[in-house]
Amino acid sequence: MKRYSQLADLESLLLEIPDENIRAYAGEAIASYSAGAYRSAIVSIWIAVVYDLYQKFRYLDEQFGDPAAKQCLQEIEKIRKNPDKKQVSAWERTILDKAFNDVKMLTSIEYEHLDRIQQDRHRCAHPVLDAEGFLFQPSPELGRSHIRTAIENLLSQPPIIGKAAGDALIRDVEGQYFPNDLEGVKNALFSRHLLPASDKYRQNLFKLCLKKILFLEPDNKWIIDRYLRSLECLIKEFRTNFESLNRATIKNIMEKTKDDRFSALAVLLNIEDTLWNETPPLIQEKFKAFLKQKDNERYKIYVISIFPEFKNELLISYQKNMNDSTKQDLIPTFIRGNIIEKAPHLVEVIVRDNIDVFMDSKTYHAGRLNAAEHIKPIIPILQADDIDYLINKIIERKLGDQLIDCAFVMEDVFKNTINKFPEKLPLWKEFYDQKKDKWGSMDNFEQLIANAEKQS
């Protein structure tokens, strides 16, 4: 019964190997194991390892232009074409070392495990005698262990694994061309780093991002922000993997947070506020002291779900203490921190305050300036009720029409909100009818409304 369960366990591992050819070679090893041919099983699984490494070299070369993989392939082809047939198989003896030392596909532990398979393969394939003159005879446990090790550490893994996964992510995130917007980051991750992968692979990426955000070099806010966006994408796509991370490991990472990374910690807690529970008390106290410092309002906004008492504090500060420049600097924080969902009343008050400043424009110059500085920045956080408020205020305005030159910003509002709130089209038509003969530069509005009607 035990033998059957062990065999079934090995056969279930085959399903984790994505490449059909590699799966077939591993299947031969399992078939040999089931028949009691343990020498043959070890030889077969080593063949699967060699072929898998070769295929992954090709993939890295063809898909990503990896120079180390390309160099290894060229050396392999040179050996294979060597007229001296005794040297044809020489590349098989060095491919594991090249995967570890040159292409850096393996961690040191993974390399050691696979190297044991290679050593035992040589003992199985050649008449190697021990001190007593007996041939090497592998045990069933050794054969089974080698098959499992090969599948779990290599055959079931994507082309970039182990330490190399972290090295590749670091190269890309800290490189010149890595995107800075969330959608671009997501595309970059999925094109190279989120190929079919194991839970362990993803968990390593989670831990690397956390370390880079909180204490590892470089101390560059733009690079740290890229890791924040990368982590945000990873958590959204693979939350189960994130939640399965060892809590003690997370606490150990949080404990190493550097004092000059508290601004990054604020954004991190906005992305995943459950990390606050894993933050050691000393770091929590230091972080609270950081939030109390002058001009740190935007960081309080990021952690408003953890400290709801900040809502009223921020409202009072916004309405009584902040200058216009500071107020405008907060708008990107509302967008980045998704504060519309976390503190909708706070956002509504701030949006209405911006609209009121625009409506109180006393000169044509002030109207244009306030349109650019108070309406344009809040467009991404406008809600349906805000559009009602803005348009109705314009229609009902009793003062002289100092907003006559502001059609440009209303076009931007329309274009960026009509798909989200198509039910506001009748109100937009009323606005256009009211202002088409009074405001300048309204020619585009008629076409914009016509296009929206066709789509509705």
Average pLDDT over residues 281-296: 94
pLDDT surpasses 50 at 1: no
Classify residue 7 by burial, with Cβ atoms within 10 Å: 0-12, 13-18, 19+. middle
CA 60 from chain centre, in angstroms, equals 21
**Is the residue at 316 inside a domain?**
no
**Same-domain status, 201 and 245:** yes
Q: Tell me how many domains the chain contains.
A: 3
**Same-domain status, 289 and 333:** no
What phi and psi values does residue 129 have, to the nearest 5 degrees?
-100, 145
Band of the pLDDT at 6, cuts 50, 70, 90? low
Can you tell me the distance from the alpha carbon of 97 to that of 80, in angstroms, rounded to the nearest whole number? 18
**Is the residue at 205 inside a domain?**
yes
The candidate with the shortest Cα–Cα distance to 438, out of 396, 407, 414, is 407
Domain containing residue 105: 2-155
**Is the residue at 17 inside a domain?**
yes
- Give the CA radius of gyration of the chain: 31
**Same-domain status, 401 and 340:** yes
**Same-domain status, 12 and 150:** yes
Can you tell me the distance from the alpha carbon of 423 to that of 322, in angstroms, rounded to the nearest whole number? 35
pLDDT surpasses 70 at 171: yes
Contacts of 407 (CB under 8 A, 6+ apart): 435, 439, 440, 441, 442, 445
**Same-domain status, 18 and 148:** yes
pLDDT surpasses 50 at 4: no
**Same-domain status, 128 and 215:** no
**Same-domain status, 185 and 211:** yes
pLDDT surpasses 50 at 2: no
3-class DSSP state of 129 = strand
**Is the residue at 106 inside a domain?**
yes
pLDDT surpasses 60 at 129: no
**Same-domain status, 344 and 438:** yes
pLDDT digits 0-9 by tens, 21-33:
999 999 999 999 9
pLDDT digits 0-9 by tens, 430-446:
999 999 888 877 888 88
Report which residue type is found at 55: Q
**Is the residue at 298 inside a domain?**
no
- Cβ–Cβ under 8 Å, residues 39 and 124: yes
Write down the pLDDT at residue 53.
Answer: 94
**Same-domain status, 272 and 358:** no
User: With b meaning 16 or more CB within 10 Å and e meaning fewer, what string describes 277-305?
Assistant: ebbeeebeeebeebbeeeeebbbbbbbbb
Chain position carrying tokens 């798909």? 419
- Cβ–Cβ under 8 Å, residues 318 and 311: no
CA dihedral 315, 320, 325, 328 (to 10 degrees): 20
pLDDT digits 0-9 by tens, 304-337:
999 999 988 888 888 888 887 788 788 888 888 9
**Same-domain status, 372 and 418:** yes
**Same-domain status, 6 and 150:** yes
**Is the residue at 55 inside a domain?**
yes
**Same-domain status, 132 and 178:** no
H, E, C per residue of 365-413: HHHHHHHHHHHHHHHHHCCHHHHHHHHHHHHHCCCCCCCCCCHHHHHHH
Can you tell me the distance from the alpha carbon of 207 to that of 332, in angstroms, rounded to the nearest whole number? 27
Can you tell me the distance from the alpha carbon of 120 to that of 136, in angstroms, rounded to the nearest whole number? 9
pLDDT digits 0-9 by tens, 358-396:
999 999 999 999 999 999 999 999 999 999 999 999 998
- First CA to last CA distance, the chain: 66
**Is the residue at 339 inside a domain?**
yes
The two structure tokens encoding residue 2: 């035990």
The candidate with the shortest Cα–Cα distance to 384, out of 359, 355, 420, 428, is 420
**Is the residue at 449 inside a domain?**
yes
